[in-house]
Amino acid sequence: MFTPHPKHHHPWSHLRQTLFLLLLAFSSPTIHASQHPRDLPTRDWTRSSWTVHHHHHHPTCPLPTDASPWSLPPLCPEPVGDDAVGDADGTWARPASTDCVFTARHFRGGQGFSLITTPEIAASVAGSGALDDGDVAGVGDSNLAWTPAYEIRDIPGRDKGMTAASALNGHEIIMTGFPVLVIRMDFVNGEVFSEGQKSSMMDVGLRRLGEEQWAAVMGLAKMSGDENVVLDVLQTNGFGVDVGGVPHLALFIDGSRVNHDCHPNAFWRFNSNRMAMEIVSLRPIQPGEEITHSYAPLGYPHADRQTILQPWGFTCTCDLCTAPEEVRSLSDTRRSRLIDIHHTLGQAADLGDGESQEKREKRIGELVLEAFSLIEQEDLYPQLVEYYERFARAYLMVGDAKRGRAFAEETERMWLLFGGGEEHEYVDGLKALWAAVKEAEEEQDEE
């Protein structure tokens, strides 16, 4: 049965206290709204000294030069897909941004890793030191005594799954995993390469890692029956990750064994500087308990969750989805209301338009409290990162720089807790938030 609120698991009382302090701490005289939409900062390319040699007319010609740090020369076929373009004179020059297969066989103590992406992104991965095994937890001599906190087992009624090998606390790293394959999303979805080319490039990428990895990947769940078997495995098991600021699909052998649950006990994060995925517990987990994460974004009502999960080809039967109708419908009502508040706070500049500053801030305060209570009731603790940012921005929109700053601080605190304090796509969002806070403070100073 679904037990909705394991309250003792989370420091809710502490969080609630902090929230009240934030809401009450400041008196309200402030300034006019500042509502400039802020674009996320764009990343700089840091090209390493290693560059790919572009070559012409030879679909799979090997590169004669040293491909270091890759263990094999990149495989760069000439694209023949519908969107591949040749030069007017009939010759064809391979654009620098066309995908190649890069392989590092030595990666992570010989696990190996193939990357299908543009030479620029591959160079940024190599240049960032992500291929070095030196300081990576779970790899190398210093970690010989290290035993994994998980097991991969057959789960009744499901395929395989991951279970806890020992008792875990909240926010403990259960698994650090490294990808065997990482493939640029636009390579998969675009039509620069033909389907046959895509299939053989993925095939080569995986075969280059050896028989053992090939067999391990082929043993993972497949769902589409696609002729391109590697793509089928990737679409069933892949994780959407950001590499060099660009969306990629990454395949982790153990990581892909973690099954879905709408009320999960773990979450995952990816750090592209170490090419590492971590599965982290959200609450204490008993030995033998199955470890789950949510394939869908958290917080959606039942019908939406099932729609989002459709591509994986299963109907979720987690405790939340199979709860009695009245329990589920209460949960759905709360979740829908929470999403409404999210939208309303996003338009906070229009909230109580024409009313006094004080009234507008009061209205936001009410919505913040209501949202927090719904998050608590639905146990959507990880969503606080996102909601705190929403709260901060709502206050900034009505010119309350003090509460804006206070919630930006909470956002950052939650971010450190969930993001592990390392580089992540969300850090850009955090930078933009702090820029917005500073701008609001400057406007306030001018008053």
What does the binding site for Zn ion look like in residue numbers (CB under 5 A)? Answer: 262, 316, 318, 321
Q: Which is nearer to Zn ion, 261 or 400 (CB)?
A: 261
DSSP 409-443: HHHHHHHHHHHTTS--HHHHHHHHHHHHHHHHHHH
Beta strands in 233-376 (DSSP E): 239-243, 246-251, 259-260, 266-271, 276-281, 290-293
φ/ψ (deg, to 5) at 324: -55, 145
**Shortest Cβ distance from residue 294 to Zn ion (Å)?**
8
Q: Which is nearer to Zn ion, 160 or 260 (CB)?
A: 260
**Shortest Cβ distance from residue 296 to Zn ion (Å)?**
9
Cα separations in angstroms, 60 against 66, 69, 93, 276, 290: 17, 20, 14, 30, 45
Q: Are the beta carbons of 47 and 75 closer than 8 angstroms?
A: no
Q: Which is nearer to Zn ion, 104 or 298 (CB)?
A: 298
Q: Which is nearer to Zn ion, 262 or 406 (CB)?
A: 262
φ/ψ (deg, to 5) at 276: -120, 135
Pull the structure tokens for residue 190. 């675009």
**Shortest Cβ distance from residue 302 to Zn ion (Å)?**
8
Closest listed residue to residue 320, CA positions, set 253, 401, 263: 263
Closest listed residue to residue 199, CA positions, set 162, 168, 226, 236: 226
**Shortest Cβ distance from residue 262 to Zn ion (Å)?**
3
Q: Which is nearer to Zn ion, 262 or 277 (CB)?
A: 262
**Shortest Cβ distance from residue 426 to Zn ion (Å)?**
25
Cis before residue 179, ω within 30 degrees of 0?
A: no
Question: Using CA of residue 439, residue 440, residue 445, residue 447, what is the dihedral sign?
Answer: positive
Helix, strand, coil percent content, the chain, rounded in steps of 5: 40, 15, 45
Q: Which is nearer to Zn ion, 114 or 331 (CB)?
A: 331
**Shortest Cβ distance from residue 265 to Zn ion (Å)?**
13
Q: Which is nearer to Zn ion, 131 or 262 (CB)?
A: 262
**Shortest Cβ distance from residue 333 to Zn ion (Å)?**
17
Largest Cα span, the chain: 72
Cα separations in angstroms, 52 against 55, 62, 181, 317: 9, 12, 20, 48
Q: Which is nearer to Zn ion, 214 or 314 (CB)?
A: 314
Q: Which is nearer to Zn ion, 321 or 396 (CB)?
A: 321
- Region of 364 please: left (phi>0), alpha (psi -120 to 50) or beta: alpha
**H or E segment to which residue 273 belongs:** none
**Shortest Cβ distance from residue 259 to Zn ion (Å)?**
11
Residue 224: other Cβ atoms inside 10 A: 14
Q: Which is nearer to Zn ion, 305 or 403 (CB)?
A: 305
